[in-house]
Amino acid sequence: MSQQTYKAQVYVTLRPSVLDPAGTAVASGLQQLGYTGVEDVRIGKYIQLTLTTDSEEKAREQVHQMCDQLLANPVIEDYSFDLEQLATIVGG
Amino acid sequence: MSQQTYKAQVYVTLRPSVLDPAGTAVASGLQQLGYTGVEDVRIGKYIQLTLTTDSEEKAREQVHQMCDQLLANPVIEDYSFDLEQLATIVGG
């Protein structure tokens, strides 16, 4: 049975209602550097991984589960992701 | 003179040649959770910000400068970004 390898790009962000002290610090740092037009800086995680599984549907399901279990904190974070097929492994 | 507001989404990643202990730890955590098909986990920063300036070209230039000066460490990190126009502020 063939398997596919996918590349997932996961974007984990703090929920809008959650304060972002790191983002606030970066915003004021940028403004001090002279970038006065900068506002609303929010800092999150950008996670890249490869995943080998039977189908795109299964890959999507596993990425959701991995986000719910480990990659994102459901209490204070939201996540979204892109999935891209890299290769097909035939047989095995 | 009118000004535009842009939303920038910045992706900061460790250079491929740089070891990623956090990514390695997450990868083994996911494998212990049963996601045996997972490999090559790389963890980076996902930074969202809004920027008000005269033109898209200027916005692009400023995001490059902000990345070079503060958002990314040029020695060990690479960056890329998307830029999206949000609104136009007329007059002022």
Burial class (CB within 10 angstroms; exposed 0-12, middle 13-18, buried 19+) of B44? buried
Angle at the Cα of B39 from the Cα atoms of B36 and B42, rounded to 5 degrees: 135
**Contact residues, chain B, for A26 at CB < 8 Å:** 47, 70-71
CATH H-level superfamily of B3-89: Phosphoribosylformylglycinamidine synthase subunit PurS (3.30.1280.10)
pLDDT tens track for A24-80: 999 999 999 999 999 999 999 999 999 999 999 999 999 999 999 999 999 999 999
The CATH superfamily holding the domain A3-17+44-89 is: Phosphoribosylformylglycinamidine synthase subunit PurS (3.30.1280.10)
* Residue range B3-62, pLDDT digits in tens: 899 999 999 999 999 999 999 999 999 999 999 999 999 999 999 999 999 999 999 999
Q: Is B31 on the interface with A (CB under 8 A)?
A: no
Query: Between A and B, how many CB-CB pairs are < 8 A?
Result: 102
Contact B70 A11 (CB under 8 A): no
Q: Where are the domains of chain B?
A: 3-89
Dump strand ranges (E) for B1-92. 3-14, 38-53, 77-89
Nearest to B46 among A11, A39, A62 (CB): A11
More confident of the two residues B88 and A37: A37
Structure tokens at A51: 């995943």
C-beta neighbour count of B62 within 10 angstroms: 19
Q: How confident is the model at residue B90 (pLDDT cuts 50, 70, 90)?
A: confident
Residue B40 to residue B42: CA distance in whole angstroms = 6
In the predicted structure, residue B91 carries a pLDDT above the cut 80: no
